[in-house]
Amino acid sequence: MRKQAFFLNLRTIFTAFLITLGVSATAEDSFRAGLAELAAGSFEKAAATLAEFVKKNPEHPAAVQAMCGNGQALSAMGRNAEAADVFEAALKRRSNRVREAPIRLSCAKCQLHAGRYSAAAEHAHQAIQVSTSPSERAAAYPMLISALCEDERCSEAWLHLQKGADSGELDPNVTVSLAKKVAADALKQGEAKTAREAFGWQMENDQDDRGKQEAALGYAWAQAALATTPTEAADALLEYVDNYPKSPGAARALLAAARKQIDADQTPVAIELLQRLYAQYADASETVDGLTLLIQIAQKAGDEELLQETRAHLAQQHTDTPAARSVLHLAIADAAKSGDDAKFEAVASVVFNAGDPQLVAQTLDRLSETAGNEIVLRFADAGLQRMIDPQQHIVTGAIIDWLFEHQHWSVITEATAKMPAEVLVSNQHQGAVIAESLQRLGSSKAAYDLFTRLAAGSEPTFVVLLRRSELAVQVGSVDEATQAIAAATAAAESSRDRQYVQIVAAQLAIRRADFDSSRKLLDTVVLSPAADQRLRGRAQWLIGETYFMQRDYRAAIDAYRRCETLFPESGWGAAALLQAGKAFEKMGNFRDAAVCYTSLLNKHAKSPYARLASRRLGWIGNETTR
């Protein structure tokens, strides 16, 4: 229930009334104590004291007074349903000591707050009927009107309000406030005729210009609801817009008028109104709905020019709205297809300037699904050119991550090829992804150089140092690799990190042909509980490689088989089967080699090693048939 400023403080009036009543000398002390507690604001104590008095003295002359005091205390504590029940009981008893009207008023108030609107209306109406006090009647009318409105009886509320206004018993400002409530609730509840009358009265009597504007808007909506055709309804709403073009409700009325014209099959008129909407009320929330509606009209009519114009406007002017974000990729595609570079840059910039990595990734996903690879890469390249601005790294980082995930490594490397080195290393994450892209494209030396630059930064991450050490083993000198491994070891924060570095150290030992040292390091990883399946499987596979390089093929086969058997979820099983097959071939055992390759094809058909296994099977077949 909405609180109304025009409700009187009934508790203060009624409490004072109770206290001033004469109480006989034989009345219980507890009754007087309860009233004192009520006056002092000790409501919980007052309710308990007065309830106890009534319980013990149900026939006492002051019992009704005590019940009313109890009801006031309960109401003050927000226990309105309980208070209303107490007042109802007091009314049934009757008493010469307490007048009926104040009890009715208090009961109406409590019933209203308790959501019992029909009962509240009845008590307020009865209070008006039995009271001759102007202040009591003035208090009753607002409760009666509010209760009837909440009970969806707005036409009755309007009749009672007119009666109260005509009698002069209501303050003019209170009457205006009540008329506004009746009108708004009537419109909401579909009682358009009552709403029109009440809004019309408010327009004539409200002394506040803003109130008059609000009433005029409500009157227009009521007129529209009562119109016999959509065109008449649109005219009623447009009359308001023309009379009050700067009012807060003008945009909503204009949008509604456009919809009415659509209902009347006046689409060209609707288009004009919607274009007027976004031209005059660019910042209104209704404008987004209007643009969305205009897009739907253009799509239905096949008007490509209007469609593209509207999508571009929505995307550029209302970027933060869900509606705009849903068409951003379409607006970008439109601009790309138009051949207008400036237009493309303007629309694409909307995404980049939003500074939202999620929006960037979402736009790339949607472009990928609907616009084709060429437009996707053009958009991504336009974004990557902003890498020189540190403020844009959150955006360019999202683009680089998306491109890397979708294996567009060349787009990353081509877009960053001519950028100064300081730009590439200004952000650790971005620099690392660029270096990874170089490595994926076979430029291991360039990747190593970039990781080295990143490692020279103020706070290189463990991942950067680890990847530098791995590449140093591949393309750097032994001294460089040794130094890189030492730096990665120092940066390792967990046992798992240290296991990774041990594998790199083992690979360096392999490079130096120190196979025994390599196997010791790898055995430590295989046996480590801190290492996961993938890491242990990789270490076991490398143990097999050390034996293979020493031409101890039987030992190599045993190591490979352990990898495939002990760590089947590691992802290294396919590589182990391929290498085991090669080892069998080296021993001249083509039958077991074929078994390894066939097993690989059966278990790991989607593995990148499957094609190699298939080729070697074909080669074995040719060899055995010669």
Q: Output 61 or 364, whichever has higher pLDDT.
A: 364
pLDDT at residue 211 tops 50: yes
Average pLDDT taken over every residue of the chain:
90
Rounded mean pLDDT, 583-610? 93
Residue 318 in tokens: 């209302």
Rounded mean pLDDT, 316-322? 84
Phi/psi for 303 (5° steps) reads -85, 90
Rounded mean pLDDT, 29-40? 90
Collapsed DSSP state (helix, strand, coil) of residue 552: coil
What is the pTM (predicted TM-score) of this model?
0.65
Contact 538, 570 (CB under 8 A): yes
Calpha distance 436→466 (Å, rounded): 12
470-514 pLDDT tens trace: 999 999 999 999 999 999 999 999 988 999 999 999 999 999 999
Rounded mean pLDDT, 518-537? 90
Q: Output 328 or 320, whichever has higher pLDDT.
A: 328
State the pLDDT confidence band at 24, using cuts at 50, 70 and 90: very low
Helices (H), 206-321: 209-226, 230-243, 250-263, 267-280, 285-301, 304-317
Q: Output 192 or 94, whichever has higher pLDDT.
A: 192
State the pLDDT confidence band at 623, using cuts at 50, 70 and 90: low
Predicted pLDDT at 531: 79
Amino acid identity for residue 451 in this structure: F
Q: Output 29 or 113, whichever has higher pLDDT.
A: 113
Q: Which helix (H) or strand (E) holds 56?
A: helix 43-56
pLDDT at residue 12 tops 60: no
Contact 524, 489 (CB under 8 A): no
Q: How distant, in Å, are the alpha carbons of 440, 539, 583 from that of 472? A: 16, 19, 28
Predicted pLDDT at 316: 86
Contact 409, 441 (CB under 8 A): yes
Collapsed DSSP state (helix, strand, coil) of residue 608: coil
377-435 pLDDT tens trace: 999 999 999 988 888 889 999 999 999 999 999 999 998 988 888 888 888 899 999 99
79-109 pLDDT tens trace: 999 999 999 999 998 777 778 999 999 999 9
State the pLDDT confidence band at 22, using cuts at 50, 70 and 90: very low
Site of tokens 């060899």: 623
578-591 pLDDT tens trace: 999 999 999 999 99
Q: Output 586 or 16, whichever has higher pLDDT.
A: 586
Contact 412, 403 (CB under 8 A): yes
Helix axis angle, 304-317 to 341-354, nearest 10°: 40
Rounded mean pLDDT, 521-541? 90
Calpha distance 352→336 (Å, rounded): 16
| Sign of the alpha-carbon torsion through 434, 438, 440, 444 | negative
Contact 186, 192 (CB under 8 A): yes
Rounded mean pLDDT, 259-266? 94
State the pLDDT confidence band at 28, using cuts at 50, 70 and 90: low
State the pLDDT confidence band at 624, using cuts at 50, 70 and 90: low
pLDDT at residue 540 tops 80: yes
